[in-house]
Amino acid sequence: MSKTIQYGVDSETGLIWSRVGSEVAVPILDFEKMTPENNFRTNYNFEKYDVLSVAKEVSNLKWTRKIPIEIKNIHRKFWGFAPLKEKV
């Protein structure tokens, strides 16, 4: 069975989630990495959730394929997929 990744943009935050099967990768803000030294730059890590446990939040997502390849590759790495190559 081949797996596919779906990408969703949160309409409230603009953050990009991904879904494989019945699981979603949720971007979670890492507060500890926000320091004065890096001008409080935001950094997100993914956490895997069952899609039913975050059903309310999933309703805020707009599912799309129009995601930059760099961001797709971040999600693909999280899910264990090979990276996509940039089109030349």
> What does the pLDDT look like over 15-51, one tens digit per residue?
999 999 999 999 999 999 999 999 999 999 999 999 9
Residue 88 lies in a domain: no
Residue 62 lies in a domain: yes
Q: How many domains does the chain have?
A: 1
**% pLDDT > 90, the chain:** 80
Whether residue 25 contacts residue 18, with contact meaning beta carbons closer than 8 Å, is answered with yes
Residue 87 lies in a domain: no
Distance, CA of 18 to CA of 51 (rounded, Å): 10
Distances (CA, A) of 26 to 39, 70, 82: 24, 17, 20
Structural domain boundaries, residue 22: 6-79
Supply the pLDDT for residue 87: 74
Give me Rg for the CA atoms of the chain: 14
Residue 26 lies in a domain: yes
Residue 86 lies in a domain: no
Residue 19 lies in a domain: yes
Nearest CA among 15, 29, 24, 27 for reference residue 67:
15
